[in-house]
Amino acid sequence: MSDFLTRIAAHKRAEVAAREAARPLPLVQAAAAAAAPPRAFHAALDGPPPRLIAEVKRASPARGALNLTLEPAALACTYAAAGAHALSVLTDEQFFHGSDADLVAARTAVALPVLRKDFVLTAYQVWEARALGADAVLLIVALLPERELGALQALAHDLGMAALVEVHTPEEAAVAAAVGARLIGINNRDLTTFQVDLGTTERIAPLLPPEATVISESGIQSAADVRRVLRAGARAVLVGEALVTAGEPAARVAELLGVAVP
């Protein structure tokens, strides 16, 4: 695990411990049971490619502040009206300036399914995601031993949510395949150097099970980038930075979705 991920994991474990002390698991489970039914995140990505997961993101460790004043509900409405198929909302505060409130606001504003994008390490966080109304959770292979990854994915499925299993090396791709991941995200950003290389999708997509839905993440800036990852085997793209920094996010969504399947 990189120093960056080690630091994230240590901070997140302390944060989750504090959350659980303030709001014990039985209360979160009750809130999850009372939450609106999950929306079909995986099904939203099953149509003709490219499928777009549009992200609500204020900042990132790699690029710093991107759009600190964005309004999650308004941006979600813009994405939905422009044709996005699903949303991703950053809820991590320490590293991405996100919040649980961002997810709630975005999901309430639209009918699209929503991914809670955070550093999920424990079952408590999966229950918490469902209690917030999330329809999917992100599980990063680099952060989780295989057994824990499989258990968290199973819990997400039991709660009616999708699990987006993220990889960025061939070895992690093998782990995702071993746990039977149905949605596999290939992160084009090296989490050690923060450098972006779309060749990561080209190298890893052929290694993944043919039945898995492959999503290319990070570094998608243009229609040419979308064409490139589709040729490699991706069916969907997850785009954040290019949308939240665009003067006209709706036009950028249209550009990314206007790509003919190669």
What residues are labeled active site? 55, 57, 117, 166, 187, 217-218
Question: Any residues with CB less than 8 A from the CB of 60 and at least 6 apart, and which?
Answer: 66, 95, 96, 240, 241
- Adjacent-strand bridge partners of 167: 186
Strands (E), the chain: 51-56, 59-60, 64-65, 86-90, 114-117, 136-140, 162-167, 183-187, 213-217, 236-239
CA distance 45 to 213: 8
CA distances from 66 to 20, 47, 207 (A): 30, 30, 33
CA distances from 65 to 68, 70, 95, 245 (A): 6, 11, 10, 10
H/E stretch holding 22: helix 3-22
Token pair belonging to 232: 């490699």
CA distance 229 to 131: 34
* Cβ neighbourhood burial of 144 (10 Å; 0-12, 13-18, 19+): buried
Question: Any residues with CB less than 8 A from the CB of 10 and at least 6 apart, and which?
Answer: none
